[in-house]
Structure 1
Amino acid sequence: MSGPPQPDPPEGVEALAAEYVLGLLTEPELRHFETLLVRDAGLRQEVASWQACFAALTADIPEAAPPEDLWPRIEARLHGPVRAALWRQLLPYLLGAVAAAGIAWAALVSDVLTPGSAGPELQARLVAAAQGIALRADYAPRGHSLTVTRESGEVPVDRALELWLLSDSAGAPISLGVLGGEAVTSLALAPALRAQLPGATLAISEEPPSGSATGRPSGPVIALGQLAPL
């Protein structure tokens, strides 16, 4: 006796959103998709829905200390030569939430998605290739702070980089602060902003030293990155 029919694999933008959440997009695909995210609230909602869908697979799995070799095994699986082809084959089963392969994957990464009762730590990478600047944004829930580290490149003379939050609940970009010449900037966030961070997109614009005077990015947006659990 055959089981219930499996759902058809997603296509188009819906499939891209799912693959974005799973980390399957190539570097060019990722840059293009994050460009779409900044101006398409519906697409950001699609990404948030996929994140909730995949995270729900771990809801009934109790917390456990991961073995020391867990992360090397995850990296080996993610970055192997057949990574994309394998995950594309498993995607319909993840959608149905009934396939053994999907459950096994959820068990493997459950502690990565939900590492503590205070919520997951989040990270985003923002690369401005034309300016030669690479930044990393880290959010620590227990510290209520967002730390931005400039990993490479220099801020243009007489200019500053301003960090913006793009989320479904915000009608317009929200400035999180100006990043000056320091390599590391720590930004304290109000509770209302902290609640919007999971799955939100961060943007970097080039502004005057004091930041944008309009409340919106007044200079070019040079980098985008989505906050995702570590």
Structure 2
Amino acid sequence: MNYDRPALLDGLASAYVLGTLQGPARRRFERLLPELVNARLAVAAWESRLHALAQSVPQAAPSPQVWKRIESRIAPRLRTQESARRAWWSKWIQPMAGVLTGMAIGVLAVKLLPNVLFPVDQLAQQEKALSQSYVGLLLDRDGKPTVLATATRHGTRLKLKILRSIAVPATGKVLALWALPHDPAGHDLPPLYLGRIPAEGKGELMLSDGAEKLLSNVSRLGVSLESAESSSDHPSTFVLTGHCVRLW
């Protein structure tokens, strides 16, 4: 399978995050993640999008009526089985009860809570239709994901999520984010300063132009430690680097 196709990779990542990618397909995708950075970026982007949806759904405890219906379905069958072949069924009764309970809860949840279960998937599909974005995932020197950066294709805001706190010396240093562009022939161009980023939590940068114009020829991002009192057109040594990809 050609995993270099962005549409295929985005579809697999969305199904993986939503939990609808199952069986051998899910196991193949999980084996692919450590090897393909674009797959990890796509998963990180979908997790970022759907995190807000998960937070917006309130927790709901089953009502007493739900448990009574479950018991009314299970109890007669269990009593019949126990009275007919108690000795033979004793080693099977607990697994059967677990299976039946799971089935009953699933059926009742779909019937009683359709407005909680289905809008999340529908919203995810709507989000997928509007998911044209630039996504960057920057790693530390140990290869651990540290910063997630996202911007809509025609937007002017770059949203930042710090996945791991970044150590900053208390000597007037700040974290600077750089885009590393290239020309159509693939030759490196001078780094483009995007702005300061926080050491933890979340943040947002106002871009000097639209993301499409600034990032269309950018394949990598970098973060360097710079002096807070002066600006430079050239970054010092990068403490974080990572790929920048477009998801459409």
Q: Which has the higher helix share?
A: 2
TM range (shorter): 0.3 to 0.5
**Larger CA Rg, structure 1 vs 2:** 2
Q: TM-score, normalised by structure 2?
A: 0.44
